[in-house]
A and B are shown apart, each in its own frame.
Chain A
Amino acid sequence: MAEAVAFYFLSACILGFAVLVITTRDTVHSVLFLVLDFLFVAALYVLLGAQFLAAIQILVYAGGIVVLYLFVVMLVNLKRPPEAHHDPHRRTGWGFALSMAVLVELAAVGAYSYARPAPPLAAAGTPAMPVTGNTEQVGWLLYTSYLIPFEIASILLLVAMIGAIVLAKREL
């Protein structure tokens, strides 16, 4: 009961702040609502018993990435409303089609997982974990069942890092 109340309260806060992020006029306020949103998502993780994820969520998103956003937003004067000028490069039709495709994909994923709920981890053939503790279990799963997705994600991050360096440095 208490858990359900906490869940609905947190979810309502998350959705409410998410709406505020995109409706607020002042860009800095919008970024601040984003921080609040991330904090409530972390609270949701704690509710699910994933303390490690919660701490990482705050450390990486609220404490790291959004500080960089704020840094940029403060340097750029966005007080002026955007002018309604015609952008010759804007392809409205393509954008609409792409976002529809993404929407359909998300709906398909949702429908699929509703029709066939994922089996619990133990039934999926995962060997019993020899470790206890939240952090240890995350590490164990990353290096056994999810090794390949983990490595692919690392490579993706490496590529992004190299890309950022190439973009930032005119000459290497």
Chain B
Amino acid sequence: MVDAIVIPLVKIVVVLNATLVAVTYMVLLERKVIAWAQSRLGPMRVGPYGILQPIADAVKLMIKEDITPNRADRWVFTAAPIISMVPALIVYAVIPFGPEISMFGRKVSLYITDINVGLLYVVSVASVGVYGIILAGYASNSKFPLLASLRASAQLISYEVAVTLTLVSVILMAGTLSMVGIVNAQYNQRVWFIFVQPLAFAFVLIGGLAETNRAPFDLPEAEQELTGGFHTEYSGMRFALFFLAEYANMIVVSSVVTTLFLGGWLRPFPNTTHLFGIIPLRPLDFVPSWIWFFLKSFAFLYLFIWVRATLPRYRYDQLMRLGWKVLIPLAIVNLVVTGIVKVLLL
């Protein structure tokens, strides 16, 4: 009873709340980091160093007027933010934040569930998230959102193909689709997959930027040309849902990249006790496994923001060319080479 229902429920509540808090603070972090990159201070007024800014933002968005345009497709207009938010949240069901640990005399795993098609689950749920953006653009019945949603659907389909093909070579290395299994495979093979699959790592990172609509691939919401893109007609909390979904997806991409390429919850050099035979690594074991996971994911989140502050936006045809003519062929080559090497050497 306790193991079957209570513990999973507690885990779901903790993960969902942690995600939503993390997402609101991601917004603050992004504003701060971009401000530092541009020699500004960023938000400073609400609380010390603007630390309470997300709460002020949330209150503002909740009490704002919620407008539905007259000519909008009412049902789809209402459903679109929900459709983009739900997949972004249910992906967290399979993300392993840590191994099984004992807590209060019970064995508790630091992930909600471990299904044998974990990675496929992540990819397929993420592919459903596209509908939120497409439908928002369509239902608004307005020019700019429609253009943005057409861009978004083309972009997401193209990059999904590249990323999924790339992930297959990681699956080949691990020999399993389970997220926990992939981390364990990295432990057993004594190497993080970033060192054996550097190309795959780069492709998944680029594809992740494109699939979360982040700069330099943020064409669906390009402010200068599309006045905000697919969420132009949205206001109040519904607009906030799109925003939250985008940041939740960023965290998902960071977590997945961490799990697949950086050994998930494993500490650096997980199999050795002494680096080069002299530097003792035992003290690292005192850091809980989930801290390692969060540190690694945070590095990627920071990278996402850093990229946004640094790189100019791609042009649309450049984006499509990169996806179809560079990433997909290279992903196939990577897959074939991985297969050959795996058969010949292992």
Contacts and interface: CB of A to CB of B under 8 A. Distances in A.
B127 A133 contact: no
Contact of A62 (B128, B135, B150): B128
A64 B76 contact: no
Contacts of B131: 32, 35, 67, 70
A25 interface: no
B125 interface: yes
Interface centre among B115, B128, B135, B138 (most CB of A within 10 A): B128
A47 interface: no
B150 A71 contact: yes
Contacts of A67: 127, 130-131, 134, 153, 156-157
A52 interface: yes
Interface in A110-145: 133-135
Contacts of A35: 128, 131
Contacts of A59: 120, 123-124, 127, 164
Interface string A75-116: 100000000000000000000000000000000000000000
Interface in B181-240: none
A12 to B, nearest CB: 21
Measured as residues with beta carbon below 8 angstroms from the partner, the interface class of chain B is 20 to 34
B116 interface: yes
A26 B141 CA distance: 14
Given A63-B127, A63-B130, A56 B150 contact: no
Interface in B85-105: none
B177 A32 contact: no
A159 interface: no
A68 interface: yes
Nearest to B119: A55
B120 A55 contact: yes
B150 A75 contact: yes
Interface centre among A51, A67, A75 (most CB of B within 10 A): A67
Contacts of A71: 134, 150, 153-154
Contacts of B124: 55-56, 58-59, 62-63
A75 B176 CA distance: 40
A7 B47 CA distance: 54
Measured as residues with beta carbon below 8 angstroms from the partner, the interface class of chain A is 20 to 34
Contact of B149 (A29, A39, A74, A135): A74
Contacts, number: 75
A68 B124 CA distance: 16
A54 B196 CA distance: 30
B174 interface: no
A65 to B, nearest CB: 10
Nearest to B115: A51
A68 B117 contact: no
A2 B324 CA distance: 46
Given A62-B127, A67-B130, A29 B76 contact: yes
Contacts of A75: 150
A58 B128 contact: yes
A58 B153 contact: no
Interface string B109-140: 00000011100110111111011001100100
Given A51-B115, A59-B164, A135-B177, A74 B120 contact: no
B153 A134 contact: no
Interface string A10-26: 00000000000000001
B160 interface: yes
B116 A64 contact: no
Contacts of A58: 124-125, 127-128
B121 A55 contact: yes
A54 B118 CA distance: 12
A52 B138 contact: no
B138 A64 contact: no
A62 B154 CA distance: 15
A41 interface: no
Top 7 closest pairs, chain A to chain B, by CB: A63-B127, A55-B120, A59-B124, A58-B124, A55-B117, A51-B117, A55-B124
Given A32-B131, A135-B117, A135-B177, 6 more contacts: A56-B120, A59-B123, A59-B124, A62-B128, A64-B127, A133-B116
Interface of A: 26, 28-29, 32, 35, 39, 51-52, 54-56, 58-59, 62-64, 67-68, 70-71, 74-75, 133-135
19 contacts: A26-B73, A28-B76, A35-B131, A39-B128, A51-B117, A52-B117, A52-B120, A59-B123, A62-B124, A62-B127, A63-B126, A67-B134, A70-B131, A74-B146, A74-B149, A134-B117, A135-B116, A135-B117, A135-B177
Interface of B: 73, 75-76, 115-117, 120-121, 123-128, 130-131, 134-135, 138, 146, 149-150, 153-154, 156-157, 160, 164, 176-177
